[in-house]
Structure 1
């Protein structure tokens, strides 16, 4: 898929799924845009927290080396 520099995102899905999605969102009085942005924010925050938690964990080999140095 092409990526432009605008803030627009265009995806192609089946008409049936599109209809079902709009029906569900309408029943909850939610716009597609607000639903999408909420899920994007959740997704991106989860990725940031995962990368931060992984970067703060010592490497298993380093941890073993540190234990040996203390002993």
Structure 2
């Protein structure tokens, strides 16, 4: 899969899976774009939080 410079993300999934996903999201009162952006933010926040203790531990060792 190529990575371009636009803000678009294109993935191909089975049509039935796509219908099910849109159906569930509609019931939850959201849409695919909003759901995806929430998932991305949560993933990135989790990765940043996991890296903070390691950075802090490194700084502690440098001070000693």
TM-score, structure 2 as length reference = 0.82
Correspondence for 1:6: 6
Is 1:47 the counterpart of 2:21? The answer is no
Greater relative contact order (CA < 8 Å, ≥ 6 in sequence): 2
1:8-55 CA deviation, whole Å, 9 max, x = no partner? 001111111111000001111201111000110000000011111222
Structure 2 CA distance, aligned partners of 1:26 and 1:53? 38
4+ long deviations beyond 3 Å: none
Alignment RMSD (CA, Å) = 1.5
Which runs of 5 or more residues in structure 2 are unaligned?
A: none
TM-score, structure 1 as length reference = 0.75
